Amino acid sequence: MQPEVIVLRPDNPRSWALMPYVLERIKAFCAAEEPDEVPENLAWRVSSAFVSADSCYGIIVGLQDGVIVGHALLTLEGHEEKRWLTVQQYQLDKGSGMTRETVKKYVEEIKKVARVLKAGELRARAKGEARIRAFRAYGFKPMATILFQEVGE
């Protein structure tokens, strides 16, 4: 059985029940993949924004047998003339049975969220070659590369 793809919304009681688990996933991903961010701060911003009618975050989960097996954290960015939706976090659990078709459903749900928020394009943060290849397989194109170097003492 393929996981169900769900957009979390504050008007859905099921979303509220899933939110604590989603926040733990967001913090774990952040700790492992986003060194510039404090996991607890990000989780607090996401949970605070979830209750706001004017949220700049979106959350999509893959649910299988009542367990979250994947999540995507989206952020609305830009300005009045140009807005885009960025896939900030994207993680699928190994062994979850997610197929290419299920991932396509994720991408379609992300596009729906983008249209509702009047975002003209999608962007994705991808760290590592495997994630870059994955996003390219679903129609994302390289736009820029951010490099870094520590300054040292």
Q: Stretch 76-91: mean pLDDT, rounded?
A: 90
pLDDT, greater one: 150 or 88: 88
Residue 128 has, within 13 A of its CA and on its CB side, a CA count of 8
State which residues form the domain around 35: 4-137
CB 71 within 8 A of CB 22: yes
Section 80-96 average pLDDT = 88
**pLDDT over 80 at 67, yes or no:** yes
118, part of any domain = yes
pTM: 0.86
Helix residue ranges, H only, 12-58:
13-33, 39-50
Q: What is the pLDDT of residue 107?
A: 87
Domain-embedded: residue 145: no
Q: What is the CATH number of the domain that holds 63?
A: 3.40.630.30
- Is there a domain that residue 153 lies in? no
Return the pLDDT at 8: 92
Q: What is the mean pLDDT of residues 56-84?
A: 90
Is residue 28 in some structural domain?
yes
Domain tally for the chain?
A: 1
Burial of 129-149, coded b for 16+ CB within 10 Å and e otherwise, reads eebeebbeeeebeeeeeeeee
What pLDDT, on a 0 to 100 scale, did the predictor assign at position 53?
A: 67
